[in-house]
Structure 1
Amino acid sequence: MRITRVLGTAALLFGLAVPPAAADSSPSPSASSDAGAPTSAGTSFRTATEFEQGQDATASASTGDYLYWSFPADAGQRPTVKATVKLPDSHAAQTWQVDVYDGLRRRQACQYGAQTRTAAQGASSVELTCVMRTVRAWSEPWADDPLPGTYYIRLTAVNLTTADLGQPIDASVRVDSKDIGGSAAVDGSLAQPLVPGIAATSDSGDGDGDSAKAAVLSSLEPDDGWASGWWSDRWVWTAIGGALAALAGVGGYALTRGSGRPRRMPPGA
């Protein structure tokens, strides 16, 4: 009877704890509509064109140009940057490269993907991919870990021949993220995301309490705000571990305490 009660309690606890873990493991929805997606690119970090994750940003340019875009990434996300360049009908072999920088303009390494690729002579297009490391909520000052904030994409051709300079090309970039969950959680968070100019904001001084946002060089942020990934499945598994430890204690006590009645001594003992 006691064992039946213990098993019933375990089923109840698992029934309450498992659904949040399942919900957290699914990837967060990203913008599926390209409404408002930019059709141009910047030529430097300061003029980088902003776009949201899940959008297809496009631009028409010339070979030899440096193309810049920026997008927001929050803690717990692992962004994948994809770039496609449509080349002119006639061209020599070209090598294209996509680089990703954080809000401090530190170049971020790619875990895997074809970050640099050479298009053979006459190829119609070239595709590049950079799967970044997981964005962490906090890191040591000396580390080069990805942190929440603005990220920059730079797309350009390297080692071009003189004959190919200035030829028209069409470029498109897209960023999608996978939510990693509690395996990437850390005990800490940034006071502010790495958004250029965010520390330079000040009150407008007109008495209405509004802040002047002109100093912020990047205005995009995640749909539910920065540091939205404070909840992770680490909380769920911690709760499950505590529940299992409590059940083990209750079960061990129930199995070892006996019937609970005092043992009767034989007469004359």
Structure 2
Amino acid sequence: MRITRVLSATALMFGLAVAPAVADSSPSPSASEDSGAPSQAGTSFRTAAEFEQGQTATASASTGDYLYWSFPADAGQRPTVKATVKLPDTHAAETWQIDVYDGLRRRQACQYGAQTRTAPANAASVELDCVLRTVRAWSEPWADDPLPGTYYIRLTVVDVPTSDLGLPVGAEVRADSKDVGGAAAVDGSLAEPLVPGVAVKSREDEESSSASAVLSSIEPEDGWASGWWSDRWVWTAIGGALAALAGVGGYTLTRGSGRPTRVPPGA
């Protein structure tokens, strides 16, 4: 009976601990594509058009232009960037490329995806995609790991005949993330996310200045997590509960009835 009560209590603890993790792992609804997504792109890092994850940003441009967008990515997320270029009716073979940079303007490698693709002559469109590495909450200064902050997308044609330069094209880009969670958690966090100008803003806030020098105004919907919480804490608690259960169960099974056996005199 005592073991049954211990098992019931541990099962209740397990259910309460797993519930938050399951809730956190459920995908959040995507933002509406019409809720403020930009309809034009920037021409440099400083003028990159900002959009939120889950939105589809669009732009009209000319073949040969450099198009820039930016979006926020937080610790534990694995961003996927997709781009579609709608080409003119008549054109030669063209090679398009999408590059992603972090808040320090370091080019981030794609884990997989068609980062560069050649569209055959007269093709209607070309699609590109890049799956980044998981964003870490903290990293060594010499490392090139993705860190929380602003990420930049650059879309351009890298191989095109001179006769096709200047032809009108349409572009669509979208960024979505998979929440990796505790599997990518690290012991550490950044003082500030890698958002251009955030350090200047923090200093001005301390000086009670009304001016804002932040070059990027976007951030995740729930704010920057900076790696302070992950489901690793949940599974650590579950492991501790199971270890306690094993200890109590082993003690109960091995101690017997607790009454010493009487030995008859003279035996």
- What is the rounded CA distance, in whole Å, between the counterparts of 1:231 and 1:166 in structure 2? 49
CA contact (8 A) 2:189 2:227 kept: no
Instruction: Call closer, same or farther: CA 1:228–1:191 in 2, change over 3 Å.
Output: closer
Could you tell me which residue of structure 2 aligns to residue 183 of structure 1? 183
Instruction: Call closer, same or farther: CA 1:29–1:137 in 2, change over 3 Å.
Output: farther
- Cα offset, 1:13, TM superposition: 1.9
CA contact (8 A) 1:83 1:171 kept: yes
- What is the rounded CA distance, in whole Å, between the counterparts of 1:258 and 1:210 in structure 2? 73
- Cα offset, 1:15, TM superposition: 2.2
- What is the rounded CA distance, in whole Å, between the counterparts of 1:204 and 1:107 in structure 2? 31
Could you tell me which amino acid in structure 1 is paired with residue 218 of structure 2? L
SS at match of 2:190: coil
The worse-fitting range, judged by mean Cα deviation, of 16-25 and 118-127 is 16-25
- Cα offset, 1:68, TM superposition: 0.4
Could you tell me which residue of structure 2 aligns to residue 99 of structure 1? 99
The reply on whether 1:108 has 2:108 as its aligned counterpart is yes
- Cα offset, 1:265, TM superposition: 1.6
CA contact (8 A) 1:98 1:128 kept: yes
CA contact (8 A) 2:77 2:178 kept: yes
SS at match of 1:46: coil
Report % sequence identity.
81
- What is the rounded CA distance, in whole Å, between the counterparts of 1:26 and 1:127 in structure 2? 28
Could you tell me which residue of structure 2 aligns to residue 2 of structure 1? 2
Q: Which runs of 5+ in 1 are unaligned?
A: none
- Cα offset, 1:217, TM superposition: 0.8
Could you tell me which residue of structure 2 aligns to residue 145 of structure 1? 145
- Cα offset, 1:18, TM superposition: 1.9
- Cα offset, 1:143, TM superposition: 0.6
Could you tell me which residue of structure 2 aligns to residue 63 of structure 1? 63
- What is the rounded CA distance, in whole Å, between the counterparts of 2:144 and 2:181 in structure 1? 21
Could you tell me which residue of structure 2 aligns to residue 247 of structure 1? 245
Instruction: Call closer, same or farther: CA 1:210–1:30 in 2, change over 3 Å.
Output: farther
The worse-fitting range, judged by mean Cα deviation, of 54-63 and 5-14 is 5-14
- Cα offset, 1:62, TM superposition: 0.1
CA contact (8 A) 2:135 2:147 kept: yes
RMSD after superposition: 1.6
CA contact (8 A) 2:44 2:66 kept: yes
- Cα offset, 1:203, TM superposition: 3.0
Could you tell me which residue of structure 1 aligns to residue 220 of structure 2? 222
- Cα offset, 1:80, TM superposition: 0.6
Alignment of 1:9-24 (within 5 A): 9-24=9-24
- Cα offset, 1:33, TM superposition: 4.1
Could you tell me which amino acid in structure 2 is paired with residue 82 of structure 1? K
TM norm structure 2: 0.95
The reply on whether 1:266 has 2:264 as its aligned counterpart is yes
Could you tell me which amino acid in structure 1 is paired with residue 148 of structure 2? P
Could you tell me which residue of structure 2 aligns to residue 83 of structure 1? 83
SS at match of 2:195: coil
CA contact (8 A) 1:28 1:178 kept: no
Could you tell me which residue of structure 2 aligns to residue 42 of structure 1? 42
- What is the rounded CA distance, in whole Å, between the counterparts of 1:144 and 1:237 in structure 2? 29
- Cα offset, 1:32, TM superposition: 2.8
Could you tell me which amino acid in structure 2 is paired with residue 231 of structure 1? W
Q: Which runs of 5+ in 2 are unaligned?
A: none
Instruction: Call closer, same or farther: CA 1:184–1:11 in 2, change over 3 Å.
Output: same
